[in-house]
Structure 1
Amino acid sequence: MSGCPSFLDLPARTVKPRMCGVTHVLDKGLTVAGTEAFLDQAGQLADIVKIGWGIGYVDPTLAQRVRRYTEHGCGVSLGGTLLEICALQNRVRELREWALRSGISHVEVSNGLRALTVDRKRALIRELSADFVVLAETGAKDDTYPSTPDEWAEEMAGDLDAGARWLVAEGRESGTVGIYDRDHGIRSEVITAILRRVPVERVIFEAPEKNQQAWFIRKLGFGANLGNIAPADALSLETLRLGLRADTVPFDTTVEASA
């Protein structure tokens, strides 16, 4: 990392474009100045930036901010909720044309509102993968869908077959639904089922909280793909990846007292 020291022995970190150790950032409406500040400090750590929900549709600075993200090697995705609304209103073609004009490189295909059939979701993945990198999200905005771990894994495997580049396991920004319990705990049985069916390197696990991030890094290694990371948390996540926090230090650093 330019401008940072290099005297410690730390896990090797790949550079962008990364295929593992991906950091997927949730942009909830940064200003142009805020975008610049984030990129100056942590742009080298962010691989994909999602302009959350329908924010891109109402942000007059979207194209300007997308351009700055792209210049820093960050793929930019629209929120899945916006695509779902467009699908329900039969405006996917208009969304595609506007997104391409705005410089958007990625789209999220989700069914968080549970208004799309499985076939419609897969058709959208196939259709949009011709122009964008598709992130297919599994999970809803509550904690009732999919109903079982095997159904989670089945949906993700089908989305991969339909042409999704990335599979996203829903956790929301709250970290209390999808792959998490209402008390923020990890539903490990869902993670196990997912990893039995799809390659771990194709899955981005939404992990907005530090304890959740640390759990995945301990389980999957420093190269775990993690999403829904707040811009302000990108640096702290990197310390977890590099073993610079007690939660993920990979060796015993205790020193015995002299006798």
Structure 2
Amino acid sequence: MPPADFLDLPDRAAKPRTTGLTHVLDPGAGVRAVADLLSSAAAHLDIWKVGWGTAYVDAGLDAKIALLRRHGIAVCLGGTMLEIAWAQDRVERCLGWAADAGFDHVEVSRGTVPMSLQDKSRLIAHAARRFTVLAEVGSKAPGDQQAARTWPHECVSDLEAGAALLVTEGRQSGTVGTFDSAGRVRPDVVEAVVSAVDPARVVFEAPRSTQQAWFVRRFGPDVNLGNVGLGEVLSVETLRLGLRSDTAALPTQQSAGAGPA
């Protein structure tokens, strides 16, 4: 069946994209599940984060990474694993292993182990010699709502250290970082971040559909969205294109006409 093309929809850049990125969180999906998703959604996927430390124990990791790279999808090692390696003085071994496994992106964060901003900058600069670095900003701790004024400094510092993209913390729950405990977006934090850096350099973690819709309405269809669930890739694309009521901008009946007689 040919692709549908009869509606007026926002333009979306073809891959490889630099904006409008969809970044997914993989909690340990098997190779067959990945292949099934890619059969329908590969064109809408840009960055695949292997999270929750699953890369360390997944017997199918090599096959998964090879499959993703054949479809032009960047593969990112989650930040917590690198934090643990840093705490155990195993950074070089971790990064060497990641390169051998086929990762081309790594996330650098400091949300699990105590790490100064200076140490984070050094880790970003070191990782950026071999990888595209995504630097995560914000606290993972429930109830730790960092004031909006504190976010810009770390964002700028991470980019200056060599990060290609920033990731605003939201976790899978969507109740920390840029969100309150009920999952509502904290607009003051978002505006503080984009007042300091280009929104095109920011991936907003937004695991919930209401959060994804908020960012699409605020920044348009080419906003970068992160921590998208594997089962929600197509639905995020329809949010971007205004094919769901949350983001649809419909003409009135009079302006659109009554249709064919």
- TM-score grouping bracket, smaller chain normalisation: over 0.9
Call closer, same or farther: CA 1:156–1:145 in 2, change over 3 Å.
farther
How many residues are aligned here?
257
TM superposition shift of 1:14: 0.4
Work out whether 1:154 is the aligned partner of 2:153.
yes
Identify which range, 242-251 or 183-192, moves more after superposition.
Answer: 242-251
User: For residue 47 of structure 1, what is the amino acid of its counterpart?
Assistant: D
Kept in 1, the 8 Å contact 2:168–2:202? The answer is yes
CA distance in 1, matches of 2:107, 2:12: 26
Kept in 2, the 8 Å contact 1:139–1:145? The answer is no
The secondary structure found in structure 2 opposite 1:193 is helix
What pairs up with 1:21-100 in 2 under 5 angstroms?
21-100=20-99
The secondary structure found in structure 1 opposite 2:76 is strand
Call closer, same or farther: CA 1:243–1:195 in 2, change over 3 Å.
same
Q: Which sections of structure 1, spanning at least 5 residues, go unmatched? A: none
TM superposition shift of 1:41: 1.1
Kept in 1, the 8 Å contact 2:111–2:138? The answer is yes
User: For residue 233 of structure 1, what is the amino acid of its counterpart?
Assistant: E
TM superposition shift of 1:23: 0.2
User: For residue 202 of structure 2, what is the amino acid of its counterpart?
Assistant: V
The secondary structure found in structure 2 opposite 1:37 is helix
User: For residue 107 of structure 2, what is the amino acid of its counterpart?
Assistant: E
In structure 1, what is the equivalent of residue 248 of structure 2? 249
CA distance in 1, matches of 2:193, 2:243: 29
Q: Which sections of structure 2, spanning at least 5 residues, go unmatched? A: none
What pairs up with 1:1-259 in 2 under 5 angstroms?
3-143=2-142, 147-254=146-253
CA distance in 2, matches of 1:146, 1:184: 12
Identity %: 44
Call closer, same or farther: CA 1:60–1:139 in 2, change over 3 Å.
same
CA distance in 1, matches of 2:119, 2:176: 24
- State TM-score, norm by structure 1: 0.95
CA RMSD of aligned residues (A): 1.7
Kept in 2, the 8 Å contact 1:114–1:140? The answer is no
CA distance in 2, matches of 1:254, 1:238: 26
CA distance in 2, matches of 1:132, 1:145: 30
Call closer, same or farther: CA 1:208–1:170 in 2, change over 3 Å.
same
User: For residue 188 of structure 1, what is the amino acid of its counterpart?
Assistant: P
TM superposition shift of 1:29: 0.7
User: For residue 170 of structure 2, what is the amino acid of its counterpart?
Assistant: G
